[in-house]
């Protein structure tokens, strides 16, 4: 039926006597039952713009275009700050057995890219449709901090909600005296936690046999865990209640993330967090602790991999202690190639990899290849914005280590995309760059989509290699 039209072959779907496809200029073409869709007739087919209304109706016709919950499968999240990266993400995911989250964006990222939760889901859905992906995929409302932000993500159809209670974590507990810990513990929101200080202390006065690992809590251990994370748990409970109210019975999954905090999450503290969430009936499927060492944006792990492996062994043992309830999450997971095999080996595949901004860096790599003058502009602007834009990120790049564009030849510029400091400077200034250069960047990427998607596939092939199902 649609053979007489120019279409993207991977997008062609025939179902119940109707055919659907995307045209090369990314419009929806329908031949057959097009009732309810808004568009113009072109011969015997209806040509439709990719409007939110048409997206909603297409999802009702083709249910695999809806994000779903993914459970304990090995999974990976792909951030897409430009809204056109999903085809490349799909290409990298095909054949790996990894459960993908193709729509993933935080409130902070939406604010900086001037996109909405609905924009992000719709963009991912059109990419899924374009590539003919029919397997399960998820949508992550990343780093949710406030109850008021929940409704927009629920309405847009998100299935995975990363609750970030980092503002409620008391890092000072790490060095507080025992007297101060007692005072702070007494002031915790015990009504929200549905327990008392005495009950909590009694609950952890036992030996926890975790297979090769055993944990005992002394008085300081239990008070420090409660003071450091008690209010964070309480905030997570409030956020979960808001999610339950907004979702009105629709399935959803929760991840709790405490990775963007100032101190490492100890094994005792992990056990405390998981125990309290479970005791309060929170259906969390993933937990992102703050591991030892440094997980920074866009660069490999900073620290001793042997120390990290020992750390992950303990966290994985605690996870298994609670049965098949949740998996460990690697946040700021881009480019941590030494970490992936360790995490897979010790979690036996119960791991979630979260990447965010490196799809944007691959877009800049395309610019360095096809329009080096434009890339020079972006680099100069990013250097000017870095000290301001870095304030909400855990990064350690210094501008002195990033050459000015005028000091490099055209041939030398692309190598900056592989240099530690330059990657971070370019990474965290994305919002400012998009404000000033977004329209031109989108236009050039649209003109070079196959190249961009090829770069993304190559980039994420490296990331997912350790997570493939046959590697388990």
What is the residue-wise DSSP string for 380-430?
HHHHHHHHHHGGGS-----GGGS--GGGS-TTTGGGGGGSHHHHHHHHHTH
* Enclosing H/E stretch for 318: helix 305-321
pLDDT tens digits, residue range 62-97? 999 999 999 999 999 999 999 999 999 999 999 999
Which two tokens mark 275? 């125990």
Strands 284-288 vs 253-257: parallel, antiparallel or unpaired: parallel
Residue 470's pLDDT is what?
62
pLDDT tens digits, residue range 324-380? 999 999 999 999 999 999 999 999 999 999 998 899 999 999 999 999 999 999 999
Q: Where are the domains of the chain?
A: 2-61, 65-171+202-357, 358-460
> Across the strands, what pairs with 214?
209
Which two tokens mark 279? 């005791």
CA–CA separation, 398 vs 252, rounded Å?
Answer: 40
User: What residues contact 112, with CB distance under 8 A and at least 6 apart?
Assistant: 430, 431, 432, 434
**How far, rounded to the nearest angstrom, does the alpha carbon of residue 13 sit from its chain's CA centroid?**
29
CA–CA separation, 353 vs 190, rounded Å?
Answer: 33
CA–CA separation, 256 vs 446, rounded Å?
Answer: 36
CA–CA separation, 403 vs 420, rounded Å?
Answer: 12
Closest residue by Cα to residue 123 from 156, 146, 154, 162: 156
Neighbours of 373 (CB within 10 A): 10
Which two tokens mark 172? 């000072």
Percent of the chain topping pLDDT 70:
99
pLDDT tens digits, residue range 313-327? 999 999 999 999 999
Chain-wide mean pLDDT for the chain?
96
316, 347 Cβ separation under 8 angstroms: yes
**How far, rounded to the nearest angstrom, does the alpha carbon of residue 156 sit from its chain's CA centroid?**
17
Residue 472's pLDDT is what?
39
CA–CA separation, 404 vs 381, rounded Å?
Answer: 10
pTM exceeds 0.75 = yes
87, 26 Cβ separation under 8 angstroms: no
Residues of the chain with pLDDT under 70: 1, 470-472
The CATH topology of domain 65-171+202-357 is TIM Barrel (3.20.20)
Torsion region of 132: left, alpha or beta (phi above 0 gives left; psi -120 to 50 gives alpha): left
Helix pair 449-464, 430-447: axis angle to 10 deg:
120
Catalytic positions, written as ranges: 142, 255
pLDDT tens digits, residue range 34-62? 999 999 999 999 999 999 999 999 999 99
Closest residue by Cα to residue 124 from 157, 97, 151: 157
């Amino acid at each position: 039926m649609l053979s007489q039209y120019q279409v993207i072959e991977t997008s062609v779907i025939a179902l119940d006597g109707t055919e659907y496809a995307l045209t090369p200029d990314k419009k929806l073409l329908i031949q057959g039952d097009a009732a309810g869709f808004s568009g113009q007739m072109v011969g015997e087919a209806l040509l439709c713009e990719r409007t939110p209304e048409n997206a909603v109706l297409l999802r009702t016709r083709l249910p695999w275009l809806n994000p779903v919950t993914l459970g304990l499968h090995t999974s990976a999240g792909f951030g897409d700050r430009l809204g056109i990266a999903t085809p490349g993400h799909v290409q990298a995911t095909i054949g790996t057995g990894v459960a993908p989250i193709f729509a993933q964006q935080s409130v902070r990222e939406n604010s900086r890219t001037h996109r909405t939760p609905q924009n992000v889901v719709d963009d991912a859905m059109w990419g899924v449709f374009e590539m003919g992906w029919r397997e399960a995929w998820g949508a992550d409302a990343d780093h949710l901090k406030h109850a008021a932000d929940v409704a927009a993500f629920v309405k847009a159809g998100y299935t995975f909600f990363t609750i970030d209670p980092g503002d409620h974590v008391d890092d000072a507990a790490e060095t507080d005296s025992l007297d101060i810990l007692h005072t702070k513990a007494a002031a915790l929101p015990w009504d929200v936690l549905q327990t008392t200080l005495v009950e909590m202390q009694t609950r952890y006065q036992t030996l926890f046999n975790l297979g090769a690992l055993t944990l005992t809590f002394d008085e300081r251990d239990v008070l420090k865990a409660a003071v450091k994370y008690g209010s964070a748990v309480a905030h997570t409970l409030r956020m979960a209640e808001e999610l339950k109210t907004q979702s009105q019975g629709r399935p959803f999954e929760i991840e709790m993330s405490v990775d963007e905090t100032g101190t490492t999450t100890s094994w005792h503290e992990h056990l405390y967090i998981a125990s309290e969430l479970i005791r309060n009936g929170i259906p969390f499927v993933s937990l992102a602790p703050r591991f030892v060492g440094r997980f920074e944006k866009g660069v490999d792990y900073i620290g001793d991999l042997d120390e990290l492996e020992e750390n992950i062994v303990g966290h994985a043992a605690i996870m298994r202690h609670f049965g098949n309830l949740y998996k460990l999450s690697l946040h700021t997971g881009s480019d941590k190639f030494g970490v992936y095999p360790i995490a897979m080996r010790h979690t036996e595949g119960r791991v979630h990899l979260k990447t965010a901004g490196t799809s944007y860096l691959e877009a800049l790599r395309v610019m360095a290849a096809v329009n080096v003058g434009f890339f020079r502009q972006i680099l100069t602007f990013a250097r000017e914005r870095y000290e301001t834009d870095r304030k909400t990120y855990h990064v350690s790049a210094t501008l002195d280590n990033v050459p000015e564009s005028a000091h490099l030849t055209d041939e030398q510029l692309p190598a900056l995309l592989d240099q530690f400091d330059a990657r971070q400077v370019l990474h965290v200034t994305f919002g400012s760059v998009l404000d000033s250069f977004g329209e031109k960047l989108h236009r050039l990427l649209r003109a070079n989509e196959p190249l961009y998607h090829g770069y993304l596939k190559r980039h994420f092939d490296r990331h997912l290699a350790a997570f493939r199902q046959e590697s388990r």
